[in-house]
Structure 1
């Protein structure tokens, strides 16, 4: 890719060469273009609002230099830039880079979470709100987290999103799809191994890795980061069949979001959420406790 930083206002220098090419089925899944608006409609809004809520508390009000790794079409980069942060986004999908590069205050480039082009200690916070979803090998996940640790300044914040091990089962039970033998077999295999295998017959999601909540802090620590907080995003609310109606009602939505904030870090409830955020720090602030 040519360095678009000299020709396109919303671009930054391209990332380092990828250690391995993005799997074709994953690239094809995201080239469908659904990521630009997916979190802004229906029950997906719950994940968006909860991610926004947790990140705003962790980042604070002081403008920061943020690297949004695997930031997709910029769904979170947009509001982060609107909050006054300086946001660079890297993503391995060309369509996402093109879309994110059009957002005000966001610089975007092709890049791989496992081989960032960023200089050492160059960001106040590094976000991985998607890369760990698709790195099925532990060595690759550790490599991505180590790259985040390298790019963040001492004492800086790293936040990673993961899909919970039982998310597929919960979702398919909610929609009654779990009763279909083929879909159930694929989901049960993912619960056993953590790996959701690609299926030509099932377009709901592509090749992915589903974490156990307790495994994420261990990966942080091995990559040189000290985890200090975990936050279940959707709690049990995403399993309610009429959740969209509650989210449409401002008063009911406020009640739901408050309930989820109250229970977001209860250890016994972390695995109920579809998605989990884990936060850690590098260097002298590694022992910092959650300041919620």
Structure 2
């Protein structure tokens, strides 16, 4: 399925940086908050599955090197990861309790109604064309059992400019031009040798439920992961367990406040078929 992935995206992820990205610096907020939100969303489904004598079957689409698949499997879920990057499949396949295969979010091999949960924690922001994002969401709906859950991650429209201003890279003319174009259209198409990311699409928070609806999904909630905290120089506080717990509690309380959804770097949107 690598022929379906833009060459520059494949090259970016073949560098191997994704495996440890969420274990470093303020990126840890994305990991911890994704765990926090997903564990709460999965809890009632897991209880229902336990009453049936089984575990949740989770399809982790675009799951990368398996950073989320690993803890989901450790929580007792049956996790199947699908990713278009061979290196990611190799890395995830080494994780205990995780099955990893090559695949495309727009054309899943899973059978209709076969998954309790479908996670799209990466595909939507690497599908710049709206038609492709709708295909991925429709595929998630197809393979989802009645009463199941779809959770998709998106990068917020202003995340790039906020991050670049914070780091100082916005004041380099080439980066400024690329970042401003992304704010205007949502499309990130970096060029040259100073690429900050790779080809991507950054959503407005309000646009994600619209895409869910067009794909036949009903949105049940939206959750800003990092709030404004990721921009406030809190990395050292994350190293202190007590201060980290306070920050995570603050973020939890504000996670679905409509006026703050677009401030986060990443947004989770949950829905059902």
TM-score by length of 1: 0.89
C-alpha separation between the residues in 1 aligned to 2:4 and 2:32? Answer: 32
1:289 corresponds to = none
C-alpha separation between the residues in 2 aligned to 1:95 and 1:74? Answer: 11
Where do residues 175-254 of structure 1 align in structure 2 (5 Å cutoff)? Answer: 175-241=167-233, 243-254=234-245
1:13 corresponds to = none
Matching residue within 244, 248, 251 for 1:257: 248
Higher helix share: 2
8 Å CA contact retained: 1:25, 1:198: no
C-alpha separation between the residues in 1 aligned to 2:68 and 2:37? Answer: 12
C-alpha separation between the residues in 2 aligned to 1:177 and 1:100? Answer: 32
C-alpha separation between the residues in 2 aligned to 1:199 and 1:82? Answer: 40
Cα drift, residue 202 of structure 1:
2.2
Cα drift, residue 203 of structure 1:
3.0
C-alpha separation between the residues in 2 aligned to 1:240 and 1:43? Answer: 10
C-alpha separation between the residues in 2 aligned to 1:145 and 1:82? Answer: 27
Cα drift, residue 198 of structure 1:
2.8
Matching residue within 10, 13, 30 for 2:13: 30
Cα drift, residue 117 of structure 1:
0.4
2:261 corresponds to = 270
Local SS of the residue matching 2:4? coil
Cα drift, residue 54 of structure 1:
0.2
8 Å CA contact retained: 2:160, 2:179: yes
8 Å CA contact retained: 2:4, 2:104: no
1:43 corresponds to = 26
8 Å CA contact retained: 1:121, 1:154: yes
Matching residue within 93, 106, 120 for 1:128: 120
C-alpha separation between the residues in 2 aligned to 1:202 and 1:180? Answer: 10
Off by >6 Å, runs of 4+ in structure 1: none
Long gaps (5+) in structure 2:
48-54
Is 1:158 aligned to residue 141 of structure 2?
A: no
Local SS of the residue matching 2:238? helix
Long gaps (5+) in structure 1:
1-16, 283-292
Cα drift, residue 204 of structure 1:
2.1
Deviates more, 1:157-166 or 1:178-187: 178-187
Is 1:101 aligned to residue 93 of structure 2?
A: yes
Local SS of the residue matching 1:174? helix
Where do residues 43-122 of structure 1 align in structure 2 (5 Å cutoff)? Answer: 43-60=26-43, 61-62=46-47, 63-122=55-114
C-alpha separation between the residues in 2 aligned to 1:250 and 1:71? Answer: 27
Deviates more, 1:56-65 or 1:84-93: 56-65
Local SS of the residue matching 1:97? helix
Superposition RMSD on alpha carbons, in Å?
Answer: 1.0
